[in-house]
Amino acid sequence: MTVCGIVAEYNPFHAGHAHHLAETRRALGADTAIVCAMSGNFVQRGDLAVMEKYRRAEAAVQCGVDLVLETPLSACLWSASGFAFGAVSLLDALGCVTHLSFGAEHADLALLRRAADLSRAEGEHADALRQALGAGLPYAAAMQQAVSAADPEAGALLTSPNNTLAVEYLCALDTLESMMQPLAVLRAGSAHDSDVPEDGLPSASYLRKLIAQGDADACRSLMPEASFAALTQAIEQGAAPVTRNAVDQAILAHLRRLSPDELARYCGGDGLEHRLRAAIRDNTSFASVCAAAQTRRYPLARVRRALMRAWLDLPTSIPPTAAYVRVLAVGARGRDILRRMKDTCALPVIVKPVTERTLPDALQPALAHDALADDLYALAYPDTALRVGGDHFRKSPFCLS
């Protein structure tokens, strides 16, 4: 069986994601099994997912994914490099994934490899990177400038977010010396963060905006039926949309307790902690704190991730790599993959969270972070009756019959 890994957030699962699945199976064969490493309740832009992770995983399985696993929480709140490495290392640890499929604005694998090779290079390229960082550029912009100086065509790729992630996936595969074969799929539809759907394929941010405005019905034609049904059910039950605004004051109440030295644990300690401390003191919402703290050197997404890490008590010293595999949903061929993983997987596999307490002591701190994150996420449910803690241990994966 060909088993292909995909890294995604499915926030929410939409027609563009269905297109990616279809193109992956068109390239590898209709019977290809697909395993997704999916972000949990917190996503890489430094925000809460619009819908809880088990519901999003169920929607993905209903739409054709065979097995959904949770990307490590630390990786979900990392920059593109850590996010990619954490998710790819999780898929690689399964020991049975043969391919890695990812979308890109330019699906020229040879050119993406050139950009990846330069991203890891030393010598003159490393000097150019240091100079760009010294000039105050954020890391991503400095890397793009340094790669462009050596190879303008490869450097131009790094101006597009999905190309940047594709390059990071290739870097992760090389670092891990993984046997997974990369498959670049040309991204179709709307651009990242676009408000205008193209060819019926929207951006996830456009759908989230509609949902937050109370216009979920407008998403119907832009999402597979099963995914739209999961969304509407969650809304009817008071479990969606989950928005950060609901926990703004809870976040600020925690952040105002932290000194610059304490904040440095969550943002890397390169001076951002002082801007964060001043912004937290002088502003009254998460959004206004972010706006006050961001600069060219400290982009908005990095600021959001740092603040979210501080709220979740998730220091950057925690690596983005997986210490265990958490199953969120099982599809048509998912059981076969899980059976195979018994012989091939290098990590403990958690199917039901209630069994976590039986795992080795060394894993308990990371497991505790997962449970805390889920409890804090619950505070943002629209229905206040759902905001109780402990739900982490009451969840079980969805299994498609």
Report angle CA 200, 202, 205 to the nearest 5 degrees: 165
Six-digit token string for 215? 């216009």
Runs of H (alpha helix) within 256-321: 260-267, 272-282, 286-293, 300-312
Could you tell me the pTM of the whole model?
0.95
Q: How many residues does the chain have?
A: 401
Return d(Cα 277, Cα 287) in angstroms, integer. 15
pLDDT cut 70: percent of the chain above it: 96
Nearest one of 17, 35, 51 to 329, comparing CA atoms: 35
**pLDDT for 265 beyond 80:** yes
Mean pLDDT of 20-34: 98
Mean pLDDT of 68-91: 97
Mapping DSSP to helix (H, G, I), strand (E, B) and coil, where does residue 2 land?
coil
Give the per-residue pLDDT at 135. Answer: 77
Q: Residue 160: left (phi > 0), alpha (psi -120 to 50), or beta? A: beta
Give the per-residue pLDDT at 331. Answer: 95
Instruction: Using pLDDT thresholds of 50, 70 and 90, give the confidence band for residue 1.
Output: confident
Q: Do 48 and 380 meet the contact criterion of CB atoms below 8 Å apart?
A: yes
- pLDDT digit string (tens) for 94-124? 999 999 999 999 989 999 999 999 887 655 6
Whether a cis peptide bond, with omega within 30° of 0, leads into 12 is yes
Give the per-residue pLDDT at 213. Answer: 93
- pLDDT digit string (tens) for 365-381? 999 999 999 999 999 99
Runs of H (alpha helix) within 135-284: 139-150, 152-157, 161-176, 204-212, 225-236, 248-255, 260-267, 272-282
Return d(Cα 282, Cα 17) in angstroms, integer. 40
Return d(Cα 97, Cα 166) in angstroms, integer. 18
Six-digit token string for 386? 């759902």
Instruction: Using pLDDT thresholds of 50, 70 and 90, give the confidence band for residue 242.
Output: very high
Give the per-residue pLDDT at 147. Answer: 86
Six-digit token string for 272? 């951002």
Return d(Cα 164, Cα 398) in angstroms, integer. 32
Q: Residue 104: left (phi > 0), alpha (psi -120 to 50), or beta? A: beta
Give 121 or 91, the one with higher predicted confidence: 91
Six-digit token string for 198? 């193209």
Give the per-residue pLDDT at 72. Answer: 97
Mapping DSSP to helix (H, G, I), strand (E, B) and coil, where does residue 40 land?
coil
Return d(Cα 64, Cα 62) in angstroms, integer. 6
Q: Do 244 and 380 meet the contact criterion of CB atoms below 8 Å apart?
A: yes
Give the per-residue pLDDT at 121. Answer: 63
Tokens 């977010």 belong to residue: 161
**Do strands 398-399 and 325-330 pair parallel, antiparallel, or not at all (unpaired)?**
parallel
Helix/strand/coil percentages in the chain, nearest 5? 55, 10, 35
- Phi first, then psi: what are they for 34, rounded to 5°? -120, 125
Q: Measure the CA dihedral 206/210/216/221, to 10°.
A: -40
Give the per-residue pLDDT at 123. Answer: 57
- pLDDT digit string (tens) for 287-331? 999 999 999 889 999 999 999 999 999 999 999 999 999 999 999
Give 193 or 386, the one with higher predicted confidence: 386
